Amino acid sequence: MPRFLFLLAGLLLLSFAAACHAQTPPTAASAEVATVSHAPHLALVPVPVPKPSLQAVHYYESGNVLWTVTTLWGFLVPGIILLTGLSARMRVLASRLGKSWYFTLALYFGFFILVYAAANLPLDWYAGFLRPREYGLSTQPFGAWLTNEIIGWVVELVAGVAFLWIPYLLLERARRFWWLYIWAACMSVLVLVIYVQPLIIDPLFQRFGPMQDKALESRVVAEVHRAGVKNAHVYEIYQDAGNMDLNAYVTGIGGSARIVLSNTIINKLNPKQLLFVVGHETGHYVLGHVRETLIMVSVLLLPVIWLMKYLAGRLLRRRGKRIRIGFTAVEDPASLPLFLLLFVAFNFLLTPPLLAYHRHLESRADRFGLELTRDNHACATSYLILLNTDLQYPRPGPVYTLLQADHPSVATRMDFCNDYHPWLDEGHGK
């Protein structure tokens, strides 16, 4: 295991070096965004992609360092919990206190979450609180940030206590088709989580409600209806002062599906730009991207579950007693960090194709939004504002794109906004 982590560290550091130095243009001040007027001729005026500011370059390069550290840390923490025997000792303590099988598992998971959260807290504090403040992206008070972190830990604990017993019970009882039963259970839980997230989980972290600007809300609803969505729910996030994130997303499935806009993005963009963003998010909804993603995840999850159990069993048979981790069976709750370690490894290997798939969905949503609004200038300037506000790097290198980018680059999106207008040539788009 240490040799594997050493090799992985070398590969990640090499990837980081390539990402930092690939396609780094000279720095320049970020361009100011002009307010879009109502003049029709502005629709086809190309919006140039600006060179990144010095601050944006620093943010991009420090982000690559952070990604490298975070990725390695994701392997290191469960590896230490496993190889030091700490996991087995927590299970022994849980069995003494819990007595029964279920309460042993629940207590063990509570101990695990406590240790795991404590180990990740310094990195989470830097990435989620200190770094955004250093770059002027947030003025959120520490108390508000810490409150959200604690809520996140509680949600993880409740979810683990509610659902973790299912795969471990199946590993112990279902000897023949355990992989199929676990896959079915995982997909059922995933669908349930996606459904209840906007109804129960998201409101724990943010305040939701109807749009405050009723005139703008009427225009948004009219556009969504024009896209063919008659029962769309549009919500506004009332973000606290200091939270500057420009959020817009589609969440939920079935009756819980909704389009969400933050008050910050509503205040930052003019109505035409906001309507393009709404068109983009409506594209995700209309094109069924949540459904497509669920299908893709279900296809990938089945072999991953089988391989994780196979590799875990093989490692325990060959190495379990030699490295003295305190257990020898995958059904033992102490195997959780081993499964987590294998999951992190599979997630790392699958990251490039998954990110490519997500970028494809985002490109399709961009096309949908632009065809719905047919406002190239609003499309391009909305991304220019997001670029300047979020310190996005307009043209990242290929290694960054391969390993980190879940959206097309801002430059790619602005180029598309500038160049795509088939309706001017008697076309209708897709």
pLDDT at 19 over 90: no
Sign of the CA dihedral 379, 382, 388, 389?
A: negative
Q: How confident is the model at residue 420 (pLDDT cuts 50, 70, 90)?
A: very high
Element spanning 12, H or E: helix 2-21
Local structure of 259: helix, strand or coil? strand
pLDDT (mean) for 352-372: 95
Local structure of 186: helix, strand or coil? helix
Matching residue, tokens 């939920």:
252
pLDDT value at position 114? 96
At residue 308's C-alpha, the angle toward residues 307 and 310, to 5°, is 60
Residues listed for the chain: 430
Instruction: Enumerate residues 6+ apart whose C-beta is below 8 A from 49.
Output: 394, 395, 410, 411, 414, 415
- CA–CA gap between residue 143 and residue 149 (Å, rounded): 10
Strand-pairing partners, residue 236, are: 209, 261
pLDDT value at position 43? 58
Element spanning 195, H or E: helix 178-196
pLDDT at 174 over 90: no
Local structure of 221: helix, strand or coil? helix
Residue type at 8?
L
- CA–CA gap between residue 112 and residue 21 (Å, rounded): 39
- This prediction has a pTM of 0.83
Rg (alpha carbons) of the chain, rounded to whole number: 24
Residue type at 290?
V
Per-residue pLDDT reduced to its tens digit, 74-108: 999 999 999 999 999 999 999 999 889 999 999 99
Element spanning 69, H or E: helix 54-83
Local structure of 210: helix, strand or coil? coil
Q: What are phi and psi of 234, to 5 degrees?
A: -110, 125
- CA–CA gap between residue 81 and residue 163 (Å, rounded): 22
Instruction: Enumerate residues 6+ apart whose C-beta is below 8 A from 214.
Output: none
Sign of the CA dihedral 310, 315, 320, 325?
A: negative
174: left (phi over 0), alpha (psi -120 to 50) or beta: beta
Strand-pairing partners, residue 259, are: 234, 250
pLDDT at 7 over 50: no
Residue type at 424?
L
pLDDT (mean) for 286-292: 90
Range with lowest mean pLDDT among 149-163, 218-232, 263-277, 315-329: 315-329
